[in-house]
Amino acid sequence: MMPGIEIPWDGPNSTWIKREALVTTGMDRQDILAASPVQASFSLWRAGPGSRAFVAHWLDWCSQRSLVSDDPSRNDLTEFPGFRGHRHDQALLTLCCLREQVVGLSLGSEQPEIDVRHPSQVSRYLFGEVASGQTLAGQFLRAAVWPIERFEHALRSRVKFGKTIHE
């Protein structure tokens, strides 16, 4: 499974996960606070008991309003210095990854000059335009990303994200 892309360039988890989510999940530890978030924009999963259990746990946490909402943490909990905002399902995905020792795809410690939320841009960044000389894993990832890229392109040509759709 590839749960998402590690995004260390915008600050550690203490910046993006509210204290209540850390305490409730039992993850309020220094190593968790210092770790990098995993972006939840896109993932690759292979169906199996391990990935199903992982996603079921993530869904369970996302089903708890106090963990996923923008509601402030309980009154007895203070946010850490530098906290900028809770990242909802992404914060909980990150905590699941750290709990299960699943790593996200690393693009390095510096933010690349691409939009890392788009699989097609990440694929081109990692593998270039030409598939020759790629490892079998790289060829598989490119093949898996191709239909997503086509769908994404078609969708973006028809829908302008961030604008209200009138029915």
Specify if 109 maps to a domain.
no
Q: What is the pTM of this model?
A: 0.76
- pLDDT tens per residue, range 7-65: 999 899 999 999 999 999 999 999 999 999 999 988 989 889 999 999 999 999 999 99
Specify if 52 maps to a domain.
yes
HEC profile for 87-154?
A: CHHHHHHHHHHHHHCCCCECCCCCCCCCCCCCHHHHHHHHHCCCCCCCCHHHHHHHHHHHHHHHHHHH
- 123 with 72, same domain? no
- 79 with 135, same domain? no
- 14 with 84, same domain? yes
Tell me how many domains the chain contains. Answer: 2
Q: Classify each residue of 6-15 as buried b or exposed e, where b means 16 or more C-beta atoms within 10 Å of its C-beta.
A: bbeeeebbbb
Question: Does 136 have pLDDT greater than 80?
Answer: no
Specify if 108 maps to a domain.
no
Q: Which domain holds residue 146?
A: 119-158
